[in-house]
A and B are shown apart, each in its own frame.
Chain A
Amino acid sequence: MKDDPIARVLDDLLKLDDILACMVARRNMISVMPSGEGFKPEVNNIWDSIHRAMDDVFGVISAYSQIGLGEMEFRLQNHEVLFYVFPDTENALVAIVPALANKGLLEVEMENARREILKIMNPGEKTENVINR
Chain B
Amino acid sequence: MQDIEQLPEPVDEQNDITSQTAVTKKDAPGTSGLEAAVGMSRKWDARDAGREVAETAIRKLKGPPSFFILFSTIHYEKYGGFQELLNGVWDVLPKDTPLIGGTVSGFTNNYGAYTRGATALVVSSSGMDVAIGYGRNTKRNPRKAAHQSAEMIKKGLEKSEYEHKFLLNIISAAEMPNIPMIGRKKVIRSGISTKMLLRLFGFSQYVLQKGTGRDDEVVREMIKCFPDFHMLGGGTLDNGEGLRNYQFFNNIVLKNSIISLGIKTRFNFDVKTTHNMKKTSIDFEITKTSKDGRIINEINGKPAASELLRLLKWPEIFFNDDTWFKTTYYFPVGFPIENKSDNLGPRVIVGIFGESLITTIGSKNPHASMLTIDGRNLLKAIDNNLISYPNTPAFGLIASCTTRLETLGDGVYKVQNRLCEYFKDRPFLEFYVGGESTYSPEKGLNFVNMSFNTAIFW
A residues neighboring B (CB under 8 Å): 8-9, 11-12, 15-16, 71, 100, 102-112, 115-116, 128
Contact = CB atoms under 8 A, between A and B. Distances in A.
B409 A108 contact: yes
A103 B17 contact: no
A109 B113 CA distance: 8
B115 interface: yes
Given A100-B323, A102-B239, A108 B15 contact: no
Contacts of A115: 112
Interface residues of B, number: 27
A11 B410 contact: no
Contacts of B241: 102
Nearest to B322: A100
A104 B406 contact: yes
Given A100-B323, A112-B112, A105 B410 contact: no
B412 interface: yes
B412 A108 contact: yes
A73 to B, nearest CB: 11
Contacts of B112: 112, 115
A116 B115 contact: no
B405 A104 contact: yes
B16 interface: yes
B116 interface: yes
Contacts of B407: 104
B106 interface: yes
A12 B16 CA distance: 7
Given A105-B115, A110-B410, 11 more contacts: A11-B15, A16-B116, A100-B322, A102-B239, A105-B105, A106-B115, A108-B114, A108-B405, A108-B412, A111-B113, A115-B112
A19 to B, nearest CB: 11
Interface in B202-248: 239-241
Nearest to A99: B322
Contact of B115 (A12, A15, A109): A109
Contacts of B17: 8-9, 12, 112, 116
A107 B410 contact: yes
B410 A102 contact: no
B413 interface: yes
29 contacts: A8-B15, A11-B15, A12-B16, A16-B75, A16-B116, A71-B410, A100-B322, A102-B239, A102-B241, A104-B405, A104-B407, A105-B106, A105-B115, A105-B240, A105-B405, A105-B406, A105-B409, A107-B409, A107-B410, A108-B115, A108-B405, A109-B115, A111-B113, A111-B410, A112-B112, A112-B113, A112-B114, A115-B112, A128-B1
Nearest to A131: B413
